[in-house]
C-alpha cells in the first residue's frame, strides 16, 4: 500500500484575541486525501490573505463554518492541477480554488475556476483585482457609489486589494479620488502608484482638517474599510445626496467595539448607506472581469501586491495585514 502523502499547511493553534499574533497559527503537516472521481489535486502557487479571515477564525463570518483549533486555515489560492479525475480540468491547468493554507489540496473540480489573465499580468491577479476583492470594489462602485464626473469619492484602506481597484474604477468614471491610508508610505503609494488625487493619513493630529481640505466641496461617495473614528470623520463631511458603502470593519474584526453611525449627519446629507456583502453581486463577475482587465491592460490600474515567500511566512504576514501594516494586496508565494 502506498504511504499517505503529507504536505505543509498552516493550522489554527489558538483562537486570536484582539489583534492576531503570528503564534496564533502554526506550520504543520497534513495528509492529502486520495483523489476521487470529479476531483483534482492542486499544487498551490499563490495564496491570498484577506481580512475577512479574522472573523472566520473567530467563528462569526456570515455563514462560514467555525474553524476548530488544529484545523487548516481556510483561504483561496491560484494553483496548478497536478492530477485530475475530471474530464473538463486537465493536468497542468491553472485554477482558482478554496484550498486553505496548504501546499497541496484535493478539491472538487466544480469548485475550481480556470485562471485567465491579460498578457503580462501575473496569475495572482485572480486573487485580487480580477478576483473577489476586485468584485467587491466593482460592486461598490457601480451599485452603491455610482460616481459621476466631477464628484469626490473617498476610499478607505485605499492601497489594499479592494481600495486600489475601487479608486481606479471611480477615476475611470470621471470622479476625483481621495485616499485614506495608515501612513506616509501608503500615502505616497496612493498618489504616485495608484493615481489618487490626494491622500490623507488617518488618526494623526490634524488629519480631519487635512480631509476637509482634500474634499473642499464635500464627499459624494465613500467606500468604508476602516475604523469607527474614520467613518465618523468622513460622514461629517458628506455632500448632499452622498452615497456610502460599508464594506469592512477592521476594528470589529479585531474584537473592537461595535461601530455606530452618526445618524444626524446622514440625515442632514440625505445620504444613502449600503451594506456590502460581495456574495450578493456574483452576477457582476463578467462585467468586472472585462472592465478591470481592460484597466490593467492599458495601465489605468496598477496591480498593487505585497508578497511574502513560503507558507511559513503566512502567520506573520496575516498579523501584519490585520494590524494595517501591509502595502497592497497580500499574497504568499507557496510554489513556483
pLDDT in tens, 180-191: 999 999 999 999
pLDDT in tens, 107-136: 999 999 999 998 889 999 999 999 999 999
What is the model's pTM?
A: 0.92
Instruction: Indicate where the chain has its CATH 3.90.180.10 domain(s).
Output: 5-126+304-333
pLDDT score of 196 more than 90: yes
pLDDT band at 178 (very low <50, low <70, confident <90, very high): very high
pLDDT score of 234 more than 50: yes
User: Whole-angstrom distance between the N-terminal and C-terminal Cα of the chain?
Assistant: 30
- What is the phi/psi pair of residue 186, to 5°? -65, -35
Instruction: Indicate where the chain has its CATH 3.40.50.720 domain(s).
Output: 132-282+289-295
- Give the number of other Cβ atoms within 10 Å of residue 241's Cβ: 10
Whose grid coordinates read 467563528?
A: 59
| Architecture field, domain 5-126+304-333 | Alpha-Beta Complex (3.90)
Apex CA 158: angle with CA 195 and CA 161, to 5°? 100
SS3 content of the chain, % helix, strand, coil (to 5): 35, 30, 40
156 in Cβ contact with 223 (< 8 Å): yes
Average pLDDT, the chain: 94
Nearest to 129 by CA among 73, 102, 169, 188: 169
pLDDT score of 170 more than 70: yes
Apex CA 53: angle with CA 18 and CA 313, to 5°? 85
pLDDT of residue 262: 94
CATH topology for the 132-282+289-295 domain: Rossmann fold (3.40.50)
Amino acid at each position: 500500500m502506498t504511504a499517505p502523502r503529507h504536505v505543509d499547511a498552516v493550522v489554527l493553534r489558538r483562537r486570536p484575541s484582539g489583534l492576531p499574533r503570528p503564534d496564533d497559527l502554526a506550520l504543520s503537516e497534513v495528509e492529502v486525501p486520495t483523489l476521487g472521481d470529479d476531483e483534482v489535486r492542486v499544487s498551490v502557487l499563490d495564496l491570498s490573505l484577506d481580512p475577512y479571515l479574522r472573523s472566520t477564525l473567530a467563528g462569526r463570518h456570515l455563514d462560514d463554518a467555525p474553524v476548530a483549533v488544529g484545523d487548516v486555515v481556510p483561504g483561496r489560492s491560484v494553483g496548478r492541477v497536478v492530477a485530475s479525475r475530471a474530464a473538463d480540468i486537465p493536468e497542468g491547468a491553472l485554477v482558482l480554488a478554496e484550498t486553505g493554507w496548504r501546499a497541496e489540496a484535493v478539491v472538487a473540480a466544480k469548485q475550481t475556476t480556470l485562471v485567465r489573465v491579460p498578457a503580462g499580468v501575473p496569475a495572482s491577479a485572480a486573487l485580487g483585482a480580477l478576483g473577489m476583492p476586485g468584485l467587491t470594489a466593482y460592486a461598490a462602485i457601480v451599485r452603491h457609489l455610482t460616481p459621476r464626473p466631477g464628484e469626490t469619492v473617498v476610499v478607505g484602506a485605499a492601497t489594499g486589494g479592494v481600495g486600489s481597484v475601487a479608486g481606479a474604477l471611480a477615476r475611470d468614471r470621471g470622479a476625483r479620488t481621495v485616499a485614506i491610508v495608515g501612513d506616509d508610505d501608503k500615502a505616497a503609494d496612493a498618489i504616485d502608484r495608484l493615481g489618487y488625487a490626494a491622500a490623507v493619513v488617518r488618526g494623526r493630529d490634524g488629519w480631519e482638517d487635512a480631509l476637509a481640505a482634500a474634499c473642499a466641496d464635500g464627499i459624494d461617495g465613500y467606500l468604508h474599510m476602516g475604523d469607527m473614528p474614520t467613518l465618523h470623520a468622513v460622514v461629517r463631511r458628506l455632500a448632499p445626496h452622498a452615497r456610502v458603502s460599508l464594506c469592512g470593519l477592521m476594528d470589529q474584526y479585531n474584537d473592537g467595539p461595535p461601530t455606530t453611525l452618526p445618524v444626524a449627519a446622514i440625515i442632514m446629507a440625505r445620504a444613502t448607506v449600503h451594506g456590502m456583502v460581495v456574495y450578493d453581486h456574483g452576477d457582476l463577475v463578467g462585467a468586472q472581469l472585462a472592465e478591470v482587465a481592460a484597466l490593467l491592460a492599458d495601465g489605468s490600474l496598477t496591480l498593487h501586491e505585497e508578497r511574502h515567500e513560503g507558507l511559513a511566512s503566512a502567520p506573520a504576514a496575516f498579523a501584519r495585514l490585520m494590524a494595517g501594516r501591509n502595502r497592497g494586496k497580500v499574497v504568499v508565494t507557496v510554489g513556483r
